[in-house]
Structures are given as C-alpha cells and as structure tokens.
Amino acid sequence: MLPVNEKDIVAAIQKVSPAVVSVATLKVIRENFFDTIPLRGLGSGIIFDSNGGILTNHHIVDDADRVEVVTTDGKKFHGEVLGSDATSDVAVVRVDGENLPAVKLGDSDKLVVGKIAIAIGNPYGFLLPGPTATVGVISALKRHIHIEDHMYEDLIQTDASINPGNSGGPLVDSSGMVVGVNTANIPFAQGIGFAIPINTARRIAREIIEHGHVVRPYLGISGVTLSHEIAQSYDIPQEKGVLVVRVGRGSPADRSGVSGGDVILEAESQPLKSWEDLQHLVQNKKVGDKLELSIGRDRDQGKINVVLAEAPR
C-alpha cells in the first residue's frame, strides 16, 4: 500500500484534474491593409462553477480575439472573457455548459511554508488524456516580484514546477482544495514558481462577475522609498518613509492636501518602510475607506485623512 501522504497526493490530483481545462487563444494582428498575422496562445484554467465559470490568468486572454476552452474529456467550448485584471493577473472566462466538474476553493490564508503543493495544468499543450501534475511544497508566502516591468504582490512561492502553458491552472493542497492560481515562473531560476492566492483570485473574480471589472481604490500619488542618499540630496530632514514625487490633479490625495515633496511617514499609525508598503496598504482597502497618513513637510509634521476613491480605468 502507498504511504498515507502519497495516497493523499494521488487522491488530490484525481479529484481536481477533471476541472482543469486548456485555454487556447487567437489574436489577429493586422500587419497592413491586406495582411494579418494570427498569434496563438495557450494556457490552463480552472472550472470553479459547474455552470461554466472558469478562472485563468489575465496574460493568457488579454486582447484575445477568440478563446477556446477544451476539457479533459475532449469537449470544446467557445469562451467568453467576462473580464480580466492586469494588476492581479486574474481573468474570468465563461463557457455555455451545465453540470461541469468544478473544484472546491480552499483558504489561502491558512497556508504555511512547507505544506505540500501540487501544480496542475496543461504545459506545452499536453492536456489529453489528462493534465500534468507536479508536486512540491509551499516555499514562501507574500512574495513580491517584478516581471516585465509589472509588480505582482503577495504571491505564493512554490518549487512545484510551473511550465509554459501551466499558468492559469490550480495550485492544490494535499486534500484537493485549490489554494492558488498558477501564474509565473522565473526562467533563469530553476525550482521557483508563483501562484496567486485563491482568496485574492476569488475576490477579483467576484468583482469581475458583479461589475465587469475590478473596483480598486487609489490614493493618487507617485512616490519613492526615501533613503539616506535621497534625503541628503534634496535636504529632506526625514530619512524614512515615502517621498511624494507627484500628486494627481483632482485625486483623493490632492483633495486632502497632500503635496509633492511631502514625506509620508506612517499610514494607519504604522511606519512605512517602502513605497511598496504604501501601495499594498491602499490595495487592501475599499473605495470610500479613510486612510490616515502621518506627513512630514519641511520641519513640520501632521496628520491627513484621505478618502480613497475608485481608481480610473
């Protein structure tokens, strides 16, 4: 008999695999008046609703002219992109289906480093007779990475192999609960893959289904992490916090009196170590929430309350 842990892994893969689909895309690029170039893409998806709701990645379906979904039993469906979000790399696709096999979504907040992680998907288009599974562990949580000038936040890091075409598929725990959506690997670093926490993906999917887009709050500034060197160069008395470089006209920050050259020392009474800290805090708020900022301006210090508004799209 197989050891219990191997049995659990096998059972988890068998439980989730029927709900893993291939997502094939076609984008037509017009080269000139007469000629077009078809660009094809391939990824994976997760049926989370038995009536045809599918989670996948934004980068898979972005600007696609046609989306085709293929299930593990070979059925083909036209896919309608209900909406996608570049910031989180989450997209929702709908197919016209009934009683489709659907996964159960877990709770990514309960993940711990060292827990078994199973990445399931469609690498290189190998879907039939079933998706590919790779097994590893949760290597780290709340990872922030830059890929092609884009910042992805709060990702799950795993050493389960995530290959081209695997993105959009599920990251599963040993009980068969989906805890993440595979999103990226780093080509030059072996054994490092990333997934979007399922709690994030579920929230984004809910907003896409309800609104057609993600309702995201914004502060309306651009800034940089304040360092000793920057402080010396610009004769800034503070040496920690976020230096406000620009304030958008009419933005929440502008309406509340934040100015370029201010240093945001604290947000919600928590010291800010970096620009990324402030971005993360804002992204976890809701439109209409108040954000209390401790501001350093020249040699003075005070507090400003900013009411967050919906980010322009």
pLDDT tens, position by position, 41-62: 899 999 999 999 999 999 999 9
Asked whether residue 175 falls in the same domain as residue 269, the answer is: no
Asked whether residue 244 falls in the same domain as residue 174, the answer is: no
Q: How many CB atoms lie within 10 A of CB 157?
A: 21
pLDDT mean across residues, the chain: 90
pLDDT tens, position by position, 75-106: 999 999 999 999 899 999 999 999 999 999 99
Residue 39 has pLDDT above 90, yes or no: no
d(Cα 145, Cα 163) in Å, to the nearest integer?
Answer: 17
Which amino acid is present at 61? V
Instruction: Give percent of the chain above pLDDT 90.
Output: 69
Asked whether residue 282 falls in the same domain as residue 155, the answer is: no
Helix (H) or strand (E) holding 145: strand 132-147
Asked whether residue 40 falls in the same domain as residue 182, the answer is: yes
Residue 8 has pLDDT above 90, yes or no: yes
Which amino acid is present at 291? L
Could you give phi then psi for residue 136, rounded to 5 degrees?
-155, -150
Query: What integer is the mean pLDDT of 153-158?
Result: 92
Query: What integer is the mean pLDDT of 4-28?
Result: 92
Asked whether residue 231 falls in the same domain as residue 89, the answer is: no
Residue 188 has pLDDT above 50, yes or no: yes
Asked whether residue 175 falls in the same domain as residue 261, the answer is: no
Domain at 270, CATH number = 2.30.42.10
Q: How many CB atoms lie within 10 A of CB 301?
A: 14
Nearest to 225 by CA among 264, 259, 267: 264
Three-state DSSP class for residue 101: coil
Q: What are the angstrom distances between the C-alpha of 83 and each of 37, 178, 207, 209?
A: 25, 21, 9, 8
Contacts of 309 (CB under 8 A, 6+ apart): 217, 218, 220, 251, 252, 287
d(Cα 212, Cα 173) in Å, to the nearest integer?
Answer: 30
155-164, 184-193, 217-226 — most confident range: 217-226
User: Looking at residue 186, what is its pLDDT?
Assistant: 66
Q: Tell which of 167, 189, 213 closes a domain.
A: 213
Domain at 184, CATH number = 2.40.10.120
Query: What integer is the mean pLDDT of 269-274?
Result: 93
User: Looking at residue 153, what is its pLDDT?
Assistant: 82
Q: Tell which of 213, 231, 246 closes a domain.
A: 213
Task: Kindly report the pTM of this predicted structure.
Answer: 0.81
Asked whether residue 171 falls in the same domain as residue 157, the answer is: yes
Asked whether residue 5 falls in the same domain as residue 135, the answer is: yes
Query: What integer is the mean pLDDT of 203-226?
Result: 94
Give me the torsion for CA of 145, 148, 149, 152, rounded to 10°. Answer: -30
User: Looking at residue 1, what is its pLDDT?
Assistant: 46
Residue 307 has pLDDT above 80, yes or no: yes
Asked whether residue 123 falls in the same domain as residue 253, the answer is: no
User: Looking at residue 125, what is its pLDDT?
Assistant: 62
Q: Kindly list the catalytic residues.
A: 59, 89, 167
Asked whether residue 18 falls in the same domain as residue 134, the answer is: yes
Q: Tell which of 213, 238, 268 closes a domain.
A: 213
Query: What integer is the mean pLDDT of 167-174?
Result: 96
Asked if residue 141 lies in contact with residue 111, where contact means CB atoms within 8 angstroms, the answer is yes
Number of domains comprising the chain:
2
Instruction: Tell me which residue range forms the domain holding 263.
Output: 217-310
User: Looking at residue 149, what is its pLDDT?
Assistant: 64
Asked whether residue 3 falls in the same domain as residue 102, the answer is: yes
Asked whether residue 193 falls in the same domain as residue 115, the answer is: yes
